[in-house]
Structure 1
Amino acid sequence: MSTQERPVAPAGSIGWSLVVPVKPAAVGKSRLAPFAGGHRTELAQAMAIDTITAALACPRVVELLAITPDQEFAAVLAGVGAVAVTDEPAAGLNAALQHGARLARSRRPDGAVAAMLADLPALRPNELTTALDAATAWPTSFVPDAAGVGTTLYCTAPGVDFAPRFGGPSRRAHLDAGAVELTPVPITSVRRDVDTGADLHQARDLGVGPRTRAALAAMARRGDPVAETGTS
């Protein structure tokens, strides 16, 4: 999606810079390996592209920074409209997100900043809009994952310290840090992250994006049982 094709944030709404971390293909979505086998890399990249493409179609997102050390895939993400950031620090996920947030605020000092995972292949732009609109009421807020253990989206208002706590039981970590949980709003696709074959089946029931759908179809043609049944 080119800059000219990007949706425009409605007058009076808050524009968001969205930071999305994308692991290198060699290590991304390792928990899918028992289900996707040799197709794991292809599937992980397809999910990331669908996630980022859907996020860029959200009218509240004025800029998306994809944080990845994978130079080749960074070019692919730039091709769909992301700002590819390849100088990722080596200190882990949260450090990478903070690096992206600093860059976002250097580009848009008065903008709101959010971090979102790249494994939401069923993401709906309208549901991301709902989540970001709900987030405007709070200094910091977050969306828990479908299991209610982790986090898929972390949001900070303009000028508020950006201190994500992704990893492990991050829902509890974000609550303990004072962030507001945005669960009352109907945002199923924002919560449906994919780590396992069962997760993938549920995402497919919601309706995955075209890249993920094509990857699953290719896996089914090769006789992959997960692509055919969606179960583990």
Structure 2
Amino acid sequence: MILSRFFLLALVLTTTVFAGSLSFLDIDIAVKTKLESKVQLDYPMISKNDIEANILNKDILSDITPKAVGFTYDIPEKSNVLGRTVIPLKLLDSQGHIIETKQVLSEVKAFTLFHKSKRLVKRGEVIDENDLNSVKLNMANYSKRQLMQKEDIIGKETKSSIAKDTIFGSWMIRDVPTIRQGAMVNLIFSENGLHLKAKGRALDDGFIGGFIRVQSSYKANKIIIGEVLNETNVKVSILN
């Protein structure tokens, strides 16, 4: 029977297993199960069936001393176990004392959907579903910022041109601005029953609820900070 103890010490997850008569299979199952659980914790959208964890240097565990009845190893809570990782695995005797340490080399693959561009998408274009090609790839080879849902991409605009077959990343796209730099807007001033309106030009891209610089047509050199209300109106605190 295998008994396991788990300890969360600082930012390290320590796993200790006692198996009575220790074998490679005990270690293989325990380490692979823990690695798979770590991936699911870090990437909840990845199914367990799409995770492959293996020990590459199994030969170092072929000559386990009969005195070893348990083992312990640490996986830092903030670590990324995708790809290859060296795990110091300590073999324990019946008293819990360390007999020796084995450097176990693991490899973890986790497959999930990524979204590629079907064509050259030019800077400033708004992306629609027809621009996307979904493919299942190993997460270990890509950035977490490229792990996106279709809904995170469709309807956004590109910050720069994106070549065909490029995997989309969050840094490549942005929300479509409510007001674009250079657009003519209405400057709205309202305070203590006084309501004024003037024309102005947006000096920045802006989004509803955000603030941008605007230049008043009333006084060309006057730059005012205003709040974007909608596609045409900016609320300002002063007009002159």
TM-score in terms of structure 1 length: 0.27
Structure with higher strand content = 2
Structure with higher helix content = 1
Pick the structure with greater CA Rg.
Answer: 2
